[in-house]
Amino acid sequence: MNWRAVRAVAAKDLLEVRKNRMATWSILGLSVFFSVGMPLLIGLLPFAAGPSGGDLGPFEQLTRLLPPGQQDLPIGSRMVVLMLGYFLAPLFLIIPLMVSSIVGAESFVGEKERGTLEGLLFLPATDLELYAGKVLAGFVPAVAAAFLNFALYAVMVNLVSAPIVGGAWFPTVPALALAAWVGPAVALLGVSASVLVSTRVETVLEANQVSGLLSLVIVALMVGQGSGLLMLSLPVLFLIGLAIYGVDVLLVRFGAAVFSRDRLMARA
């Protein structure tokens, strides 16, 4: 494997993404919405204001799941911790998923639309190197965006909630595990799926639609199953990550196996 060629292809794509307004603004918007908007919103909800908070019914029960240290907080503060630290945090996985799909969807069909695909295929890289470069091009910014956003989210959560909780408390250990272990797995999922799509469609629009749809399905699964995710034990989180990596390996291997220069060229 000629890693210099792989890295060059990835770096070139990254440079292009940085100069692509549509892509950068989508990514920026998503980040601001998730990492700044959501913590602010939750922090400003009425129950966060006072210690009494009124009757929160069944949610009162849920806050019993919080770690012992946070059980003594007033009910309003407990709700904020529950929402920011446990319910919303898993949604953070949307970021690596979306960033990797946005970049991955462009990978081949984007070059085709802009008339550079033929030149790409005439490069001395092997089929595998080209494919690896494109996967890397989506994976790296997705993981970087995820980590940056996680840090930003942590700062915002603490800013919003420290006064009512009595100090900085986020990230929790499960949240860290989610970001460090599951986040990259999801990034790889997004990029391997969207690169595959990108070799098989005719326009960038189609690629975005198909990989957007795929992401939506995964997001729906996450919202359904994910809200309680951080209540799970670390070993279970580890297994979930492992399962996603398993799917990644299959997808990447499949993508590499069916990737063919001849096929791409013949369709161009």
Partner 1 sequence: MATAIAADGLSRSFGTVRAVDGVSFEVPAGEVFGLLGPNGAGKTTLIRLLAGVLLPGAGSARVLGLDPWTDGPGVRRRCGVLTETPAVYGRLTARQNLGFAAEVFGVPLPEVACRVNDLLARFSLADRADEPVGGFSKGMKQRLALARALVHDPELLFLDEPTAGLDPAASRQVHEMVGGLREEGRTVVLCTHRLVEAEALCDRVGVLAKGRLVALGTVRELSERLLADSPVALSFLDPVSDAVAGEVGAVPGVTVEERGERHLLLAAPDDEALAAAVGAAVGAGGRVVAAGRREHTLEDVYFALQEAAA
Ligand X SMILES: Nc1ncnc2c1ncn2[C@@H]1O[C@H](COP(=O)(O)OP(=O)(O)O)[C@@H](O)[C@H]1O
Q: Which is nearer to partner 1, 87 or 259 (CB)?
A: 259
Q: Which does 8 bind (CB under 5 to 8 A by kind): partner 1, ligand X, none?
A: partner 1
- Shortest Cβ distance from residue 118 to ligand X (Å)? 10
Nearest to 157 by CA among 178, 172, 147: 172
- Shortest Cβ distance from residue 223 to partner 1 (Å)? 35
Q: Counting contacts by CB under 8 A, is residue 4 touching partner 1?
A: yes
Taking CA atoms, 184 is separated from 181, 205, 257, in Å, by 6, 26, 22
Q: Which does 115 bind (CB under 5 to 8 A by kind): partner 1, ligand X, none?
A: partner 1
Q: Which does 227 bind (CB under 5 to 8 A by kind): ligand X, partner 1, none?
A: none
Residue from 60, 72, 118, 202 touching partner 1 (CB under 8 A): that is 118
The neighbour count for residue 14, using CB atoms within 10 Å, is 17
- Shortest Cβ distance from residue 18 to partner 1 (Å)? 9
Q: For the range 246-252, what are the long-range contacts, defined as Cβ-Cβ under 8 Å and sequence gap of 24 or more?
A: 247/189, 248/185, 248/188, 248/189, 248/192, 251/189, 251/192, 251/193, 251/196, 252/135, 252/188, 252/192
Taking CA atoms, 159 is separated from 3, 19, 38, 152, 154, in Å, by 43, 33, 13, 10, 9
Residue type, 127: D
Residue from 21, 115, 262, 266 touching ligand X (CB under 6 A): that is 266
Q: Which positions lie near partner 1, rule CB under 8 A?
A: 2, 4-5, 7-9, 11-12, 15-16, 19-20, 114-116, 118-126, 261-262, 265-266
